Structure 1
């Protein structure tokens, strides 16, 4: 089976002892019916709630190889970006199969669930979950993708201020909702930008992937000091849970549904004369 790095991964038998090296991977494995097969994961793997009880082997930047090996995994599912490639190559040399997961589009998520289900021998549950998720994506696309376009600034974090380009799955959610990511064409996947650049682009809506513990003064409300900006003038400052938007797991479809509703609000305010 081909992973998101383009490598072919072959298992001699369905995986029974899987380690997830990213929070979004943990969510994918649960959705694929693999709850009982996950023997290790990383920090911030907190959903579904049962994931909090899984032993930790590090975080998505650095793992404790000794602890990982003690769990005797027969499959590692890895996020390509924040994981230490040196460590991953070391584990590969030890003969542990690695499967890279890096969904860039909403439709990649149900596909990933079904792939992982095949690797764990939980095909039936994974097929059902993937099909149900794909149906929801299709419904959102049909309802919103052809609506009048809304120019969107997506704020990942405010200090430093950075966003995401069109290769990130968040931009695909914006597209499905009939929006345009104003910084989508930038080269870097998560570019650091200046406030002046946002002001110059004058987006119609600003969406922030805020965490519950993120102070509003440094989150979406920061922009209220610029009342002349279109998004501020029309009240189109929208905060959506970062765990729904920034993780490329099943819940991103919930985040996309909320995003579509917020962009529809922005469209409705075009007639209010502001």
Structure 2
């Protein structure tokens, strides 16, 4: 009987240890991002340590520069992605029909596709990514912060008069920000009437004759970058344009202006300050 009692006690001890032992922590995710806006969102949600690969265009935050490159959302490098053993691949819905994305799906790799063409889409994308990586609360806080930044700019501009404006992303050819883009939406919130609103293209190619005829009062020129002296010679040839005459041609840096994602509120303020500097008078608490 002593032997049986010993066996029973031993079994109970084993069960007690088994129940007392902490559950094994799940392995961290291995996330591959195929777009700059996705990479920024992942880092903003605190998932930076889980990002193992990014697109060739991802340059923010600085930590992303040290990560392996896996092509872009339209030309993803299938071999490079698979080599990183991802547990989640996040890209843009524009690439849903890309052959490599279909191949990844068929091989069983989890793929999440989001959109970033408008403020609503940017906010929805943040929430979708947050839900997928178990960071719902962080996503809600991030969206709330963006909405607060937008509301602050709107309050600043409540009494200003809209100005005719043009936003360019390049000169060769001349490419403008058109309707259906988040930048056009930011221009409207910044109380600007986009002169290409009726063109109907997201990134229309413009002639100088069109720009002269539309007489923009403010020009935001991405080809000038952040150097206020750049491209001056280009615009001085067209003094009849009100923006040129009144010296209201401004350059802007691609980062963050051309980056859809968590810093969209910051981009809005940059645009608004250039179009309506009077709403941020010097000497007043900004």
Give the TM-score of the pair, scaled to structure 2: 0.80
Task: Report what 2:252 is aligned to.
Answer: 240
Q: Equivalent of 2:103, from 90, 94, 102?
A: 90
Q: Contact 1:148/1:267 (CA < 8 Å) preserved in 2?
A: no
Cα drift, residue 161 of structure 1:
0.7
Q: Structure 1 stretch 152-161 or stretch 187-196: which is displaced more?
A: 187-196
Provide the rounded CA distance (Å) in 2 between the counterparts of 1:79 and 1:210: 26
How far does the alpha carbon of each residue in 1:140-194 deviate from its partner, in whole angstroms, 9 at most, with x for none? 1232265211111110101111112110000011011111111123232211111
Residues 89 and 226 (structure 1), Cα distance of their counterparts in 2 relative to 1, 3 Å cut: same
What is the count of residue pairs matched by the alignment? 255
Distance 2:266 2:227 in 1: 20
Which of residues 146, 154, 163 in structure 2 aligns to 1:141? 154
User: Partner of 1:192 in structure 2?
Assistant: 205
Moved more, 140-149 or 112-121: 140-149
Q: Which residue of 2 aligns with 1:58?
A: 71
Once the two structures are superposed, the pairs formed by residues 41-56 of structure 1 within 5 Å of their partners are 41-56=54-69
Q: 1:201 is matched with which residue?
A: 214
Against the structure 1 CA distance between its residues 163 and 32, is the aligned structure 2 distance closer, same or farther, given a 3 Å change threshold?
Answer: same
Partners of 1:145 and 1:62 lie apart in 2 by 43
Structure 1, unpaired ranges of 5+: 1-12, 269-274
User: How do 1:113-128 residues align onto structure 2 when only pairs under 5 Å count?
Assistant: 113-128=126-141
The answer to whether the Cα contact below 8 Å between 1:240 and 1:255 also exists between their aligned partners in 2 is no
CA distance in 1, matches of 2:169, 2:27: 37
- 1:252 matched to 2:268? The reply is no
Cα offsets for 1:200-235 (capped at 9, x unmatched): 111111012347599965x46522211121001111
Kept after mapping to 2: 8 A contact 1:165/1:171: yes
Taking the aligned partners of 1:167 and 1:220, their CA distance within structure 2 comes to: 29
Partners in 2 of 1:140 and 1:213 — Cα distance?
Answer: 22
Verify: 1:226 aligned to 2:232, yes or no: no
**Over aligned residues, Cα RMSD in angstroms?**
2.7
Q: 1:76 aligns with which of 89, 92, 101?
A: 89
Rounded to whole Å, the distance in 2 between the matches of 1:85 and 1:265 is: 43
The yes-or-no answer on 1:182 pairing with 2:195 is: yes
CA contact (8 A) 1:147 1:178 kept: yes
Aligned pair partner of 1:40 in 31, 50, 53: 53
TM normalised by structure 1 equals: 0.83
Evaluate the alpha carbon distance shift between residue 102 and residue 186 of structure 1 in structure 2; reply closer, same or farther with a 3 A threshold.
farther
Instruction: Map Cα deviations across residues 92-148 of structure 1 (whole Å, 9 max, x no partner).
Output: 222223322322333443442232111111222222222112211121123226521
CA distance, structure 2, for counterparts of residue 115 and residue 261 of structure 1: 31
**Gaps spanning 5+ residues in structure 2: where?**
1-25, 281-286
SS at match of 1:137: helix
Name the CA shift for 1:181/1:145 in 2 (closer, same or farther; >3 Å).
farther
| 1:148–1:61 distance in 2 versus 1, CA, 3 Å | same
Q: 2:114 maps to which residue?
A: 101
